[in-house]
Structure 1
Amino acid sequence: MKSYFFAFLILGAASFVPLISFAQSASTVRVDSLNALLSSEGCSDKQKAASLIASLQDEFETLEYQEGFLTFLRNRAYSYYCFQQMDSAAYWFVQGAKHARSQELWDWQGEMLKNAGNIFLLKADYDSSMFFFERALQVSNETGDSTFLPATYIGKGIVFQHLGELEQAMDAYLQAERISRNQKNLNAQVNAYLNRLTILSDHYPDRIDLAELYATLELCRKHELRANQTTLLQFTAGAAADSGKWDVAMAQYEEGLQIANEIGRIDLEVYHLEGLAELARKRGEHQAALKYIEKGLLNAEKAELVPNQIQLYLQQANISLEIGDYSQAVNSAQKCIALGESTGQKEVYYKAYKYLSNGQKSMGNLSLSLDALEKYIALSEEVLNEQKSNQLSELQTQFESEIKDNEIASLTQEASIASLKLDQQRFMIFGLIVLVIAGVGIGTMFVRQQRLQKKQQMAQIEQRLLRSQMNPHFIFNSMTAIQHYMLQNGAEKAGHYMGTFSKLMRQILEHSRVEFISLGEEVDTLRNYLELQLMRFGNRFAYAINIDETLDENYHHLPPMFAQPFIENSLEHGLFKGLSEKNHIEISMTAQGKDEIAVVIEDTGVGLAEETTSQGHRSLATQITQERLAAFKASSQLASRMKIENKVNEAGEVLGVRVALVLPVKVLISS
């Protein structure tokens, strides 16, 4: 579900509240009346819009009325937008910005620049779009006017989202929400939330807060924000369908469809028709689903909504296959592919090759079926590789950003120390005669303090370096596992594996920046890692995580990533070779007093001696963990220790390995 919400489109031209007042005259009253007509009818009647534009141009031949002239330029551009004349719309928004600047009307300039950015965004000219959004932000910084900021940040977020820079898009939307909340601008606040919701829905569905979603829907109902209401109904209906509440989903899609029809939003009608078609298909009501699709295609073609046409043809091909109408399935798949190739949206249309192959095969066209199947496989691999590349690029960017932050912090600290030394030297020079003894004492204490600080800083830096070593080591092992998993399983399962891996990588990167994380975060990371390994090893082992009742997952904090390397050693080198018929890993966390936590990892593997000699392997992760413990103790002066031993029975047989870690624990309030 990818629809974007532009502030100037949803607000409309007529909703702008002028910030300047001028004395009214007969001429200005006539201009205001013509502007009101152009605002209300400029999107519905092209001939009347042209007539109103000509009349207003005649009025301004002799009239000096800056507010009316700028309103005219904006309404004129908005009318061109409504009739899909994007170049003309962009031109008149830019002209409006230039005129507003010449008159030093900064609120108008920012508004025009923001709308120009939105027009270039619709034209997919992302460089030009970002240029105008940045110019609008610059105007705000220079003048202090912030009325247009929420919509500008929404526009920037959409650009980032189109470019695949999802974290930057989320930041822009959150910034828009924050500013609009402070301005009590509910419409912009909801628009920003909706755009943020599109990212969550497409990429992080588990992060959607349903309570927040329904609360926002009720807010829109209360304040009659009908366009936003029908959009939110798409998401609530989708959530209901995913949880098996099909009747609820159907009612919400139909409610959204009715509202979209009443307010004349064809694009929103199409999204609800897509949802109704998919829901009908799941319920086995194939003919009803095809009727929804046919209506959706009529509307999408009328409004030139190409992405929606691609999705609808894809649905039509799938349903036609299910009911045995192979000719229609082939026809729909071919239309989907043609439109998809014209827009480059292969992440959507590549599936149509699979439907095309199945349709041709059912019709006996085996050669054509094989050709389509080969294209499907090739495109599937391209899409999967691009997704993997994007995820790895994001990880690399975060690594580089962290390194730069550390370098900046280090340089800032060095500059501060140098400045402090210079101040001390000046003080000592001026007070040397009368304070020589005190100066010597202060100098001695200062040197001692500097040595202690540097010693502690070096230990902290060593600790950060060791954590940063763990991340590439862990990523290397995980990517090797992913490669193996992809060779053994299909692209669909590998895609699910990559999604789980991406979530785990995000947790690892976030935790690598801090000294302590909550117990709940550590447990959640371990669970994600073990679930990932369960997928990899085909559920060939079981695990349990036990937490002492005296520990609180939110308030008790411990250093991150100490248990994972030993779990990895167990899985890679010992677990599947032991005497036990059941492969099992157990992690226990118990409090030891108020300042320590014991973390115990036990497995049913081959044991230490066999594990080491059979593999000829010494775990780099274990070595780094030992060094981390030493560096952590040096930097924080808090207790930490480790013991690794075999588990044996009464007969002296090795039943596995037991690792006991004692780590410091802090009681903090998580943000």
Structure 2
Amino acid sequence: MKAFVGISFYLLLVVVFLSCQKTIKKANHNQFSTPLLQTDSTIVSNLINQSITFFEKNIITATAYDDYLKQAEEIAIKNNFNEQLSQIYNVVGVRHRNRSEYNKALIYHDKAVKIARDIENKSLMAKYINTLAVVYRRIDENKHALDLHMEAMKIAENIRDTFQTSVAINGIGNIYINLKRYHSAIEYFKKSLAIAQNRNNILGLAINNNNIGETLLKMNLVDSALVYFTKSLNYNTQINSTVGKAINHNSFAYAYNMKKQYNLAIQHLEKALIFNKQSRDRINISVSYSTLGETYYLKKDYPNAINNLNTGLKIAEDIGSKYQIEACSRLLSKIYESLSNNKKALLHLKIAEAYKDSIINEENLRHSTTLETMRKFEQTQNQLTALNNKTELQKKLILQQKKTITGTIILAIVLIIAAVLVYRQIKLRSKYNNILMQQRLLRTQMNPHFIFNALSAIQVYILENDMEKSSLFLSDFASLMRQVLRSSQYEYMPLSEEKKMLDYYLELQRLRFVHPFSYKITIAEDIDADNILLPPMITQPFVENAVEHGIKGLGTNGRIEVRFFIMDSNLAIEIEDNGIGWKASQKTPPIGKKHESMAIKITNERLDVIRRVTHKKAYFKIIDIQENTPNQSGVLVQFELPILSRDQKTKLNKKVKPF
């Protein structure tokens, strides 16, 4: 008894505990289901910040799109927090970019830019367009990058966003470096540097000082470049920028190579590699390896040079960096030339020259010059606009009137064209529906004489007390009628169902004839009868004609064959009888001739519909066998239809019988 009480008490505790848990879960669910927008917005911000913190601590192993951001995205989409959603995509894009995963970066930056445009947030537009342009710079798409930076700069200037203006100007300077327009590049970098100084933007100071140093280095002003590199490294150390310090050490290495201080260059490159591998920035890893290769080449240590250059070249090819491929290939060409390996030297030289032509071409130069001219022209126009507001207003009014008139004319033309197209479509649809109705009518209206004769045959069997034949005949007749009615609901049916319908029909005809005929229906082995589709009862009118107007007059030894096979990638159908022949059957019009004529007409229309839908040939023809073989008689009907399958039923946009 005590044991039972103890067990009961234990079970009671379990029930109470589970009830409490259920209540807590329900309360939590209700709490998060309630649209507390401010709370949800805070949650999204916290998740983004948690992701940033986690990524910085685990930069080597962390994924770009972690669970924090996925949760944040889900809440942002649910509550239409578009600004935060664009921020999420931008964060993911930057991570992919820093890992040289540029295709993925473009996808997420494009999403961020699209959202910013949709919500017409100018500040976000300037920021995300600049960020997108950086990716295009990385993959050497200078023309596209320049367009984006110019657009971002224009937006930023209009809303007086000096930070994004500085970013855009810096980006344009980098493009000018790529185009070897060094004086223009320094001009842009100094403009960006001035803005960074006014805002006390340490990152901007670090970036612009290093960019100026790199430009001076390309102009062979090595000592001046080293001054700027030192400043940049100090700024990057202040903010502990791993990427920035890696870039600085690469830059120092270039300078010391030019000063022929190769050991110092190697020391900086080894440091750069450490920082680059921490940030997983493959473009800068490639740069470090290629610069190491160049340094070993200058030291005449060719094996180490080739090894490092091949490593850098492989990474450059993986990420699609035209500049790095060109640089590595050119250095490898020089090394192999020094080793008297002319074949490899020429091979790498050809690669280098091909990429050089792709990078610096007249189109990019013309494009950048044109954009610069347009920008100056726009500034001049803005000044003139401020002095001539009244004149400009009048011009706008005149232009607006012209646009209104032009728009009205265009709208009228569009409406007329639309009306004609709609009328034509309605007419075609009406004609098409009429054809479909005629088809359905034909399928539901079997020849009345056949139905009358079938019922008469059943009556005869009953009067003769032949209950077995009566039952068989009546069962087949009911199955045929059911098959006909069911098929009338669909525009296409499996070949196996067409065969089943023909079996019922021919068996009924054979049973009611005084002198039974023979028939055979064959389907080729390479045809999947359950998957191949065709219009229902497409063959029935011609099989009926073979029975009623072909073999009926023979008396005995009547034969009908129906064959389905593949010919020239189409479905071929043949209906052959050994009756009196087509011409002979036409001399004395039998009862039901009108039905036969209508069947041929509608069959042609059905095939016309198939041709329109599939854009493939579909036809049938009637051959009098005696014309080709005088000693034989009969009719051969041949069909050729496109092969349609169940997999294509959605493309056909028509009902398919679900047998």
Instruction: Please confirm whether the aligned pair reaches a TM-score higher than 0.5, indicating the same fold.
Output: no
Task: Return the TM-score normalized by structure 1.
Answer: 0.44
TM-score, normalization: structure 2? 0.45
Structure with greater Cα Rg: 2
